[in-house]
Structure 1
């Protein structure tokens, strides 16, 4: 059994979905591991991870809009407002989505479906540099 690990840095430009499928796939390919299990973990509380359709960009826009409806920017709804009106809603959105993903690796590639892509969901209005730890175990 072998292991490999790296951290991918993702520059976001504000709220939205930022695809990292290629970066993750490049890490898996470079590892030389053919069969295994990949864990992705985002080191932030106001951003998250998801696997979602990557064929139609309207899916990502609709997902961002839906999360906004679930956790709107309205300081009357939250106690934690000291970091701006978008901060607490970002924490709620991160809690509703995933901070880690587990993906099988088959044939030296993440075993994603035809239309699946891996995304960082940025929940803050301003852009940030987000860190995603990638840990791969296999043979």
Structure 2
């Protein structure tokens, strides 16, 4: 049997004073366009998960997050076209102004209540946020 490999997706959860979560409306990506996603990206070779999450924060929304200010909130092992491990980190502190640094991929950023039934959140992200709200740190999906 071949050794299993997986993509590692990094997601950043930023909350405002009301507990709402920062979401960007995806566009022109070819996947989940029109839906709300978190600041996120893929782990690159040679970097730690917290360093990658901090890098994605700066690249996608222009804020600086120190790796020590990231708390792992959830790990999801899910299957799409390939196996994926999604790490959801919550930032306890950050600096800078939220900016749409990738307007070709994102129509804009706003704070949204993740429990709002009208919010069109990417389904696996909505599932992870429900698990986080319930205090569950691990979940699986898409495996049959």
Q: TM-score, normalised by structure 2?
A: 0.25
Instruction: Decide which structure has greater helix share.
Output: 1
Higher RCO by CA contacts (8 Å cutoff, separation 6 or greater): 1
